Each structure stands twice: as C-alpha cells, then as structure tokens.
Amino acid sequence: MIRYIGKRLLWMIPVMLGIAILIFSIMYICPGDPAQSMLGPSATAVELAAKREELGLNDPYIVRLGRYLYQTFIRFDLGVSYKYGTSVFEGLMERMRYTLVIALLCMALQVFVGTPLGIAAATHHNGVADRICMLLALVGVSIPAFWLALMLVLIFAVNLNWLPTSGVDNGLLSFIMPCIANSFAGIASQARHTRSSMLEVIRSDYIVTAKAKGLSPRTVLLRHALPNALIPIITIIGNGMGMMLGGTVIIENVFAIPGVGRYMTDAISSRDYPVVMGGVLVLGLIFSLIMLLVDIVYAFVDPRIKAQYEGRRKKKKAPAAAAAGKEAQHG
C-alpha cells in the first residue's frame, strides 16, 4: 500500500509537468499583449517594446517554456503577477482559503445531504418519496449554478433581505448562498448515484444471504447493503470535488468572492499569464491529491482492491471483480 502511494505521488511529477506545458502552451497562443494591458492604452511603442523585452515575451516559445519550467519546478517559484507585481504563490495562498472553504463546504453538503436522499429513495423504491427525490434530483442536475445563484440572490438578498448579496464580510452568512448554488448539482448527482448503486446492491445474492440469516431489514440495509453501495460512490465524491473547484470559479464571480477563481478570471481578462498558469497548476495539484486520497480510501474500504495494490506479497489471487472495480473507479 505504501509503495502504491509512493508510486502515485511520483507519478504526479510528470502529470504536473504535463499540466505546466499544456497551460503554458494555451497561454502562449492567447491573443492580446500583456505589456499593453499592464501599461494601459497611453503607453508609447517604445515603452511597450521595453516592457516586452523585460518580461521576456520576445523570446521563442521553447526558450520561454524552458524558462517557465525551470522557474516552476527547479526553483519552486510561480513568478510575479504582471498586474499586481506581487508573488503569484502568495497571491494564490491568500485567496485559497475562500475557495477551499467553499469547495469543502460544498463537498460536505453533497455527501451529507445527497447520500441520505439517495438511500431514502432506494429504500422506498418506486414509492412517493423515491419519485419526489428523483424528480428534485433531475431538476437539480439541470439547473445552471450561476443562474440558481442569481435567483437565490433575488429571493434571499433582494426581496427577503436575509442574506448578504455578495462579498465575504458577513462571516458564514456570506457563504450560504454560494455554497448552495455551487453544490446543488452535486447533491442531486450524489443522490442519483447513491440510489442506483443501492438498487443494484440490493439485488445482489449476498443481500439475500443476509436476509436468510434472519437479520432485520434495517440491519441488512445498514450493515450489508450500504457499505457495498458506497464503494462506487467514493469515486463520484472525488469527481465532485473537481466540479466544485471548477464551479467556484463561476460562483466567486457571481458573489464577488475574492478567491482563487476570481483571481484567475480577472487574470485571464488582463492577460496576467503567471497568475493563470500558477492557479491552474495549484488547483490541478490539489485535485490530483484529492483523487489520490479517493483511491486510497477506495482501497481501504474494498479489500479486493487493497489486495491488488498490496501485490503478490500474499499468494492468494484477487478475482476479476477487483479488476472490474478498478475499472469502474475511472468511469
């Protein structure tokens, strides 16, 4: 297991390199001139040329890429923001807490609201509760998050005046609407996945075995069905985290929250490349770490997968089920 984690951590180095090259290339073909946006429209041609030379924008692609990779991966320096002249890393860290608070709160909502809803729906399969849950979930995954955010603002901030429209000055209150808007689709999709996973597990032979033992329906559900049903859900949670991190970019814009997402969208419009690249790298790193965590948790709860990671230290063979399980976690 430790070896597996080590291998995965090592593998993250080429992935990060890949992300850096990818995002650098994307930014390279970006239209617009950072020098122009830094100096403003009144700058003279001479000033612009000097600025471009200073930023190294005149060098060929491969030189700039090499310089960027050297700076990022050897000196661990994400560079300086063109716009603010401050360290990108510090700029990101300063804003990261807002983004992380939102993303984590959203995850919590997704897991702790979505899962019980899914279980309730599955246990009342085809009943009224099931139908209501699933209809809500269907609507939930179909609502644009930013529109939901606008509607929440309209109702709770403008009309009822219960919650602040934007900003982060009101403590936890400021995060209520952003989190609801950002996690609504996540909750709905978690409920849908939990339900279908539960329904599939409930049909398994080992559930019949458990019933045949004389266990109460409740025990069968909680001790045998739920743990098995939750295994594939873990992957959904990991993917959900990616959605939440991406979603915060939009939500931070709606609610004017000074997080990483807003920092990055501002940077995109002002051609502040170091910020965009640094932001993508850092968010990519966080996301990769979360996916690794998901895989570890996965192995922890499913002995079949664990056996696979532990390799051939023990000579017992892992059945095809383990392979299938591993496949499923990528799906």
Partner 1 sequence: MENKEMLLSVRDLTVEYTSEDEVVHAVNHVSFDLARGSTIGLVGETGAGKTSIARAILRILPEPPARVPSGEIIFEGKNLLTLREEEMQKIRGKEISMIFQDPMTALNPIMRVGEQIAEVVRLHEHCSKAEGTKKAKEMLEMVGIPGERYYEYPHQFSGGMKQRVVIAMALACNPTLLLADEPTTALDVTIQAQVLDMIRDLRQKLGTSMIMITHDLGIVAEVCDTVAVIYAGEVVEYGTKEQIFDNPLFPYTIGLFGSLPDLTSDVERLSPIEGLPPDPSDLPRGCAFHPRCPHACEACEKAHLPLADVGGGHLCRCNRLDAIAAEGKKKEARA
Partner 2 sequence: MVKASSRQANAGVRSRRQGQLGQVMHRLAKNKLAMLGLFVMLALIAVALLSPWITPYDYAATSKADRYALPSAQHWFGCDGMGRDIFSRILYGARASLWLGLMSTLVSTVIGVILGSLVGYFGGWVDNVVMRLLDILQAIPGMLLSIAISAALGSGIGNTILALSIGGIPMTVRLLRGSILTVRKQEYIEAAEKINCSRLRVITSHILPNSIAPVIVSVTMGIGNTILQAASLSYIGLGVQPPTPEWGAMLSEGKAMITKYPHLCIFPGLAIMVVVLALNMLGDGLRDAMDPKLKN
Binding site for partner 1 (CB under 8 A): 203-206, 208-216, 223-224, 227-228, 231, 301-304, 307, 314, 316, 318-319, 321-322
Asked if 93 interacts with partner 2 (CB under 8 A), we say no
Candidates 19-27, 67-75, 105-113, 227-235; binding stretch for partner 2 (CB under 8 A): 19-27
Asked if 117 interacts with partner 2 (CB under 8 A), we say no
Cα of first residue to Cα of last residue in the chain, in angstroms, is 23
Residue 143 interface partner, choices partner 1, partner 2, none, CB cut-off 5-8 Å depending on type: partner 2
Considering beta carbons, is residue 162 or 206 the nearer one to partner 1? 206
Joined tokens for residue 102 = 């939102």
Joined tokens for residue 201 = 């597990």
Considering beta carbons, is residue 174 or 329 the nearer one to partner 2? 329
Joined tokens for residue 90 = 């510090």
Residue 304 interface partner, choices partner 1, partner 2, none, CB cut-off 5-8 Å depending on type: partner 1
Considering beta carbons, is residue 272 or 302 the nearer one to partner 1? 302
Contacts of 110 (CB under 8 A, 6+ apart): 183, 186, 187, 190, 237, 240, 244
Q: Shortest Cβ distance from residue 303 to partner 1 (Å)?
A: 4
Burial of 113 (0-12, 13-18, 19+ CB in 10 A): middle
Figure out which of the listed residues 13, 26, 108, 256 binds partner 2, where binding follows CB under 8 A: 26
Binding mask 273-312 for partner 2 (x = CB under 8 A): ---x---x--xx--xx--x---------------------
Asked if 143 interacts with partner 2 (CB under 8 A), we say yes
Figure out which of the listed residues 141, 215, 293, 301 binds partner 2, where binding follows CB under 8 A: 141
Residue 18: count other Cβ atoms within 10 Å of its Cβ: 11
In angstroms, rounded to a whole number, what is the distance separating the alpha carbons of residues 196 and 329? Answer: 16
Asked if 116 interacts with partner 2 (CB under 8 A), we say no
Residue 134: count other Cβ atoms within 10 Å of its Cβ: 19
Backbone torsions φ then ψ of 187, nearest 5 degrees: -60, -45
Angle 235-238-240 (CA atoms, 0-180°, nearest 5)?
Answer: 110
Figure out which of the listed residues 9, 151, 208, 222 binds partner 2, where binding follows CB under 8 A: 151
Asked if 321 interacts with partner 2 (CB under 8 A), we say no
Candidates 36-44, 215-223, 247-255, 295-303; binding stretch for partner 2 (CB under 8 A): 247-255
DSSP 106-143: HHHHIIIIIHHHHHHHHHTTTSHHHHHHHHHHHHHTTS
- Contact between 163 and 157 (Cβ < 8 Å): yes
Residue 30 interface partner, choices partner 2, partner 1, none, CB cut-off 5-8 Å depending on type: partner 2
In angstroms, rounded to a whole number, what is the distance separating the alpha carbons of residues 285 and 16? Answer: 7
In angstroms, rounded to a whole number, what is the distance separating the alpha carbons of residues 294 and 300? Answer: 10
Residue where the block lists tokens 């976690």: 329
In angstroms, rounded to a whole number, what is the distance separating the alpha carbons of residues 269 and 273? Answer: 10
Considering beta carbons, is residue 65 or 143 the nearer one to partner 2? 143
Residue 154 interface partner, choices partner 2, partner 1, none, CB cut-off 5-8 Å depending on type: partner 2
Residue 284 interface partner, choices partner 2, partner 1, none, CB cut-off 5-8 Å depending on type: partner 2
Residues near partner 2 (CB under 8 A) are 11, 14-16, 18-19, 22-23, 26-27, 29-31, 138-139, 141-147, 150-151, 153-154, 158, 196, 199-200, 203, 242-243, 245-247, 249-250, 253-254, 264-265, 268-269, 276, 280, 283-284, 287-288, 291, 327-328, 330-331
